[in-house]
Amino acid sequence: MIVETTAGKVRGSVHNDIHIFKGIQYGAPTGGKILPTHPFDPVASPVSEAIPILIGCTTHEQTYTALSAGDDTAFNLDAAGLRQRVVAIVGETMALQVIETYQKLHPNESPSELYFLLATDQRQRMNSIRLAERKFRQGKAPVYMYLYAWHTPALASKTSEAWIQFARSGNSNHTGLPNWPAYTTKDRATMVFDYTCKMVNDPGSEESL
């Protein structure tokens, strides 16, 4: 499938009725007048220091990455395939320990499921944590961390209300959720959105690579 866009033709595919477009990258270019430097690398920019931030990811971000890359093999891994991919992420020395840790924490999950969990943690989740830490160290406005663990595509009212409250006041708390403190490098408070929402300090710390 090829779609015509203002930037030219984009090749894509359809997977389980989901349209996936390859070669599309999201991000603002830096170095110009509008965004002279990266807003969070290597430190948080003073331009937006007084603005609160809500940051996080899902537990399975890497499933979309695999779909968009046409990586069908990722959804049908065996033990050897999992090990090969983990070696590519953490190196030969740490691979076995990482796999055993995820198997212990997520028993009965398939090799593909374990891969998506650990690859998401190593990439999108760590990037979210890195940004939250830099915002916290700036000390000018709060940052709130979430982890979306609900495996259905529906947006719960509790989630949408948190986004609404954050947009209104810079604070995500509302009566439908447990108390949600701002993120700090000491507690790493994270709201886990799941069938039952809960506030967890430093979730996934055992899987940290």
Residue 199 has pLDDT above 90, yes or no: yes
Residue 207 confidence (pLDDT): 64
pLDDT band at residue 19, thresholds of 50, 70 and 90? Answer: very low
Tokens of 46: 């003073």
Question: Among residues of the chain, what percentage have pLDDT more than 90?
Answer: 46
Distance CA 32, CA 69 (A): 30
Q: Decide if pLDDT at 60 tops 60.
A: yes
Contact by Cβ (8 Å): 165, 172: yes
Q: Is the pLDDT of residue 37 over 60?
A: yes
Q: What is the mean pLDDT of the chain?
A: 82
Q: What is residue 67's predicted lDDT score, i.e. its pLDDT?
A: 82
Q: With bands split at pLDDT 50, 70 and 90, how would you rate the model's confidence at 26?
A: low
Q: What is the 3 state secondary structure string of the chain?
A: CEEEECCEEEEEEEECCEEEECCCCCCCCCCCCCCCCCCCCCCCCHHHCCCCEEEEEECCHHHHHHHHCCCHHHHHCCHHHHHHHHHHHHCHHHHHHHHHHHHHHCCCCCHHHHHHHHHHHHHHHHHHHHHHHHHHHHCCCCEEEEEECCCCCCCCHHHHHHHHHHHHHCCCCCCCCCCCCCCCCCCCEEEEECCCCEEEECCCHHHCC
The answer to whether 181 touches 199, Cβ cutoff 8 Å, is yes
Of 9-23, 39-53, 76-90, 124-138, least confident by mean pLDDT is 9-23
For the chain, domain boundaries: 38-207
At residue 33, does pLDDT exceed 60? yes
pLDDT at 150: 75
